[in-house]
Amino acid sequence: MCNSDQFVSSIDPLHPANLIPQLCENMYRQGWVTGTGGGISIRDNNVAYVAPSGVQKERINPEDMFVLTVNDRSVVRAPGRGLKESACTPLFFNAFSIRGALSCIHTHSQNTVMATLLWGKEFRISHQEMIKGVRKGGMSDALTYLDTLVVPIIENTPNEEDLMEGMAEAMHKYPNAPGVLVRRHGIYVWGPTWEKAKAQTECIDYLCELGVKMRLAGMRTVPDDGEAVIP
């Protein structure tokens, strides 16, 4: 492990160390990562950049990044000032190793939390335009308007790192799911690029919000005939 800034010093605005603070600030403004919760990781070849734990997400700087090797999660670059590695890290690496993703986003969005309170083992919704912004498995072909988006829901644990096994099990059981919801907690979403991970997170959050409103209004989110009907 080293504190070398070679990993985080770049004038390229698309460098992971520069992108992650921007994306975290964007998610903060949407109310997804308040109170230092949530996070994001971006893979760059054989290393992954991870936002630190316990930091105001709208105030993260490039030099706050942790850099880990993809093959064994060894820390090759750690920030100073006593920052801790994110407890989300093993969950991010599930997306890298199981799906081959290049980015994974974790939010504490109230829309996703509400969805986990109103659905049982999986969130389901169909016949909505925003479904077209989601990819099968988060990685391949886009879903269609007629497809049903299915996102598994796993139970929360007192320590976030203990979610790793349950998340991995859900990812294997639902190979077409673009993310995993965690009851009373939030969601993990991944993608083949940071842009697609971001877009899918936004689409799924929109669909969770819409699904919650539909269910509370007594409407089906997966109608038999393509029209919203009273159950």
CATH 3.40.225.10 fits domain 1-86: yes
Question: What gap in Å lies between CA 116 and CA 111, rounded to an integer?
Answer: 9
Q: Which residues are annotated as a binding site?
A: 88, 106, 108, 185
Cβ within 8 Å of residue 154, ≥6 positions away: 163, 166, 167, 169, 170, 180, 181, 182, 183
Spell out the domain ranges in the chain: 1-86, 109-222
pLDDT at residue 230, rounded to an integer: 40
pLDDT at residue 130, rounded to an integer: 98
| Domain 109-222, CATH number (from 3.40.50.1110, 3.40.50.300, 3.40.190.10, 3.40.225.10) | 3.40.225.10
pLDDT at residue 169, rounded to an integer: 98
pLDDT at residue 135, rounded to an integer: 97
The residues annotated as belonging to the active site are 129
pLDDT at residue 226, rounded to an integer: 53
pLDDT at residue 229, rounded to an integer: 44
Per-residue pLDDT of the chain (231 residues; tens, 9 = 90+): 445 678 888 888 999 999 999 999 999 999 999 999 999 999 999 999 999 998 999 999 999 999 999 999 999 999 977 899 999 999 999 999 999 999 999 999 999 999 999 999 999 999 999 999 999 999 999 999 999 999 999 999 999 999 999 999 999 999 999 999 999 999 999 999 999 999 999 999 999 999 999 999 999 999 875 555 443
Task: State how far Cα 213 lies from the chain centre.
Answer: 22
Q: Which residues are annotated as a binding site for substrate?
A: 88
pLDDT at residue 231, rounded to an integer: 38
pTM of the model: 0.94
pLDDT at residue 69, rounded to an integer: 97
Q: Are 20 and 52 in contact (CB under 8 A)?
A: no
Same fold, 1-86 and 109-222: yes
